[in-house]
Structure 1
Amino acid sequence: MNSSAMPMVYFVAPNAEHFDDIQSQLSLFGFDCQVFTRNSAILAAMHTQPPFAVVVDELGLSDANSKKCVPLISRLSKGPVIFLSNAHSIAEQIDLMRNGVTDFLPKPFNPQQLIDRLDSLQEQARPDPFRVLIVDDSEAVARWTCGVLSDAGMLSKHIQNPLEVILLIERMKPDIILMDVYMPECSGDEIAKIIRQNKQYDSIPIVFLSTETHRGKQLMARSMGGDDFLVKNMEPEELVASITITAERYRQLRRWMTRDSLTALLNHTNIIEELTREVARAHKECRQLSYAMVDIDHFKLINDRHGHMVGDRVIKSLSRLLRGGMGKPNSVGRYGGEEFAVILSDQTMMRAAQKLDELRQSFSQLTQISTDSGEFHSTVSIGVAQLQDGQTAQQLIDAADRALYQAKAAGRNQVGLAT
């Protein structure tokens, strides 16, 4: 990753040496770091290059305690200010928050805790814009609606022919559908009923947008598969607020339904469904497609020796590396236990293997921390297969699984290629 594109994290502490290992660990996860030990240096840096986040040790700086430096840093910070400390009372935490602290982490802490918090803060800072599909035969109404949503930072697409809605859903993957009720080809409630026949679209809310004000007719339309009913010509702010509330709620519901609770990656069912779609697309469009199985070596031994909480942290550290390394959020899933599935679209087996081998090396460099046994390192074995003509998704999975078995049989901590 290009360091210029890496989010910057500033550490504020009286001693820089303690953060050497943390800096190297964060860099593997795509964060750039600088440590400051003097007040003038951190304030100058905040002026010239405001960071994504500032992490302040409760000991403060070599020439200023935390009570003095935190208010100054928070006034210059455009992002979160994370405070590392031993136990503080609620009153003390409130006082720190009033001075600009936004988050707290206990000491001693391991890099994974900080990475988890930074990931969460990044997601909050840069949420994906809502994608809105507008189905309306009126060009004028749709143009006004698109303009309002665009001004609010949403991505919108308009179709006049409701019979094209399924094709557009597949292409756009909208967060929400705005549907006119009365259209020449068919009614909005009829199209909503057709959409609801497809179980994969159950988590997409349908909001009817119409001039209809009769409450009984509104409820009738909603009973056909709609989730809300908005009257046309409402105030722009009300339209944006209504769509935002509904889309955000359903986005969270989709996340709970499709994502693994520990890693936030696609769960087993949904990564297989995603692979099936990618296989069909690759065959149809004559595209390259590779698929990989990634397995943590000797994971049972990690659980037995260090405990399941440490095992969970190892799983999370690998999932974070895979998610960051692949780029596409739906290209990585937790296949089960300590096994992960990776979809590499438009890539040959050799290029996919090279990319995954880099991730394998990065993972082996991560310092895992056990409270009982100290630090240790973990490794992974990987099997990679490339889609062949006429091959099904299950056959591709089987090929990658055989390659994974070969990697383990050859001594683990390596990449195996399907033959």
Structure 2
Amino acid sequence: MATEALLYKNRALLLTQSFFIKDNKAELLLHAHKYDFDIAFFSEVSAFAQAVEASGDNNLFVIDLDALHNMQADMQSSRKTLLLSELLARLPGGHSYVYLQSARQGGRFLLQQRLVDSDCLAYAEKPIANDVLVDKLFNLFVQKKRGDVVRLMFLGDATHVDEAALQEQRVELIRYDDVNTLHLRVKELQPDMVMIGEAEYERTEAIVRVLKKNIEADPVREIMMLQRRIDVDLTRNALASGFDGIIPLISRELLTAQLVNRANKIRVSKDLIGKDRATGLLNKVGLQKKTQELICNAGREGRPLALGVVDIDKFKTINDTWGHYFGDIVIKRLSLTLSSHVGEHDLLSRFGGEEFVVVFWDCSLEEGARKLDAMRQAFGAIPFEVTPGTVRHFSFSGGVAAYPEYKTGNELFLRADAMLYEAKQAGRNQIRIAPAR
């Protein structure tokens, strides 16, 4: 379809042998598109290098080392094998590369050392199934993104960390000094990491158990102790009480670096757990957590929220008529349309199948309905080429409910979903709003 190339925000550039492209191209593309990225195939180093130079930030650069055996070193040489050193010399600097290699190549440690010292983002051993390769590449796309802000709550002397360096890496430092009310503050702010000084732990040894036994505790959250002195018994007791890690205080710089590394791992884990792989939007798990946080913030600040639920009209007919692959394309186009209409503090989720949820921050019921209707009109204007020369337009229906009329995320969703059902029953392609109680 003519608009397909516009669907994918990310792209992988793949330098590989021609037979690999011939045998795997269609299946690789099918898997990649489901993960919301495209693949461009290259069999010549020069064309690949030019494409790398012209690429933006949303790209991965993948090199199949077996391709070296099918490439001439230069125009004047009859030698078919390009040496690794020649390939590395011709790759544009300032970029990181993913290398695919055979088991024989993977067994050579000096080769691995050469690769990781040469702008290597990652390497993988073949044979590797197409769906597995695509899944691994998706994970790398996630890791390349800066992602959400990670919150670090620090109980104790926070002067041991470089707050400016943390902020630069999108880590927010929250200082706190009362061990007896820490569990309440953690419940309210839902930090991703909690750092507790050894003195505070020794005063209240039950603090970690109190934090972890809460049924609403985030399983991704890391609780760490900052240890200023070497004490084996203290370390053993702290680990037994539930700490995820003990970080010795060696220097301010090293402590900050360790916290940044842990924040990056948490960020990736949160993306993989809380994001829908096909669209990159929040999934049901991610939405529920974020909505709870947004409602807490709205309550503290006295702001309204509007939650909308939308569902593509007659989506089963779309799948049955033009296939599930085309249905996936429709879902992606809707996700991009909705994304372009949400603000920085709004939430957007692919809740499941063809159903999406949007939460508008500081937004009344009526304004939320207007925003959702603007999304409906924008999606309805998109031409889909279902077959060569044949264009169709599709629609969605939606329902809206508002906070504080409905107090919890579950109440908001159920009421908005009921309004969605009314919109469907009334003829589809419209928005219905929840009446006042």
2: CA distance, partners of 1:392 / 1:209? 36
CA spacing shift, 1:291–1:180, aligned 2, 3 Å: same
Q: State the partner residue of 2:208.
A: 192
SS in 2 for 1:335: strand
Match of 1:175 in 2: 192
Q: Does 1:348 align with 2:364?
A: yes
The alpha-carbon deviation at position 347 of structure 1 amounts to 1.0
Q: Which runs of 5+ in 1 are unaligned?
A: 1-17, 32-54, 60-65, 105-116
Aligned partners of 1:236 and 1:275: how far apart in 2? 35
Q: Distance in 2 between matches of 1:259 and 1:78?
A: 23
- Within the candidate set 238, 246, 252, 1:221 is matched to 238
Please give the secondary structure, in 2, of the residue aligned with 1:203: coil
Are 2:385 and 1:365 equivalent residues in the alignment?
no
Letter paired with 2:153? L
Tell me if 1:293 matches 2:309.
yes
> Contact conserved, 2:142 with 2:271, CA < 8 A, in 1?
no
Question: Does structure 2 conserve the Cα–Cα contact (< 8 Å) formed by 1:195 and 1:201?
Answer: no
Q: Residue 240 of structure 1 is aligned with which of 256, 262, 266?
A: 256
Partner Cα separation in structure 2 for residue 263 and residue 253 of structure 1: 17
2:67 corresponding residue in structure 1: 90
Residue 154 of structure 2 aligns with which residue? 134
3-state DSSP of counterpart to 1:326 = coil
Could you tell me how far apart the structure 2 residues matched to 1:393 and 1:127 are? 24
Cα distance change, pair 287–76 in 1 and its aligned pair in 2 (3 A): closer
Q: Which of 326, 330, 349 pairs up with 1:310? A: 326
Higher RCO (C-alpha 8 Å, min separation 6): 2
Say yes or no: does 1:336 pair with 2:356: no
Tell me, yes or no, if structure 1 residue 211 matches structure 2 residue 231.
Answer: no
Amino acid of the structure 2 residue aligned with 1:179: I
Q: Aligned partners of 1:185 and 1:226: how far apart in 2?
A: 13
Output the CA distance in 2 between the equivalents of 1:218 and 1:347: 49
What is the SS of the residue equivalent to 2:341? helix
Match of residue 257 from structure 1 = 273
Give the aligned residue type for 2:151: R
Q: Distance in 2 between matches of 1:303 and 1:182?
A: 61
Indicate the SS of the match to 1:292. strand
Change over 3 Å in CA distance of 1:178–1:394 after alignment to 2:
closer
Report if aligned partners of 2:155, 2:200 keep a CA contact under 8 Å in 1. Answer: no
CA distance in 1, matches of 2:397, 2:65: 43
Query: Would you say the 8 A contact 2:273–2:286 is kept in 1?
Result: no
Deviation of 1:350 (Å): 1.7
C-alpha separation between the residues in 1 aligned to 2:89 and 2:4?
A: 25
Name the CA shift for 1:190/1:405 in 2 (closer, same or farther; >3 Å).
same
Report the secondary structure of 1:266's partner residue: coil
**CA displacement at 1:243 relative to structure 2:** 1.9
The CA deviation at 1:97 is: 10
Q: Which whole-Å CA distance do the structure 1 matches of 2:366 and 2:348 have between them?
A: 18
Q: CA deviation at 1:165?
A: 2.4
Residue type of the alignment partner of 2:274: T
Cα contact 1:212–1:218 (8 A) shared by 2: no
Give the Å deviation of 1:413: 1.9
TM-score scaled to structure 2, two decimals? 0.64
**1:110-164: CA deviation from partner (whole Å, max 9, x where unpaired):** xxxxxxx99x86983544454322111x3xxx22314474476333122222234
1: CA distance, partners of 2:58 / 2:297: 41
Shift of 1:216: 3.9
The Cα of 1:229 is off from its aligned counterpart by: 0.5
- Over 3 Å counting, the alpha-carbon distance change for 1:329 and 1:371 in structure 2 is farther
SS for the counterpart of 2:200 is coil
Fraction of identical pairs, as percent: 26
Go from structure 1 to structure 2 and tell me whether the alpha carbon gap of 1:286 and 1:258 turns closer, same or farther (over 3 Å shift): same
Distance between the aligned counterparts of 1:323 and 1:381, measured in 2? 17
CA distance in 1 between partners of 2:88 and 2:376 (Å): 40
Q: Name the CA distance, whole Å, in 2 between partners of 1:157 and 1:178.
A: 10
Residue 230 of structure 1: aligned partner: 247
Cα 1:190–1:353, aligned 2, differ >3 Å: closer, same or farther? same
**Counterparts of 1:130-169 in structure 2 under 5 Å?**
130-136=150-156, 138=157, 142-147=158-163, 149-150=165-166, 153=169, 154-169=171-186
Change (3 A) 1:325 1:122: farther
Task: Check the 8 A contact 1:266/1:330 in 2, yes or no.
Answer: no
| Post-superposition CA distance 1:352-377 (Å, at most 9, x none) | 11111222222223454668997644
SS at match of 2:199: coil
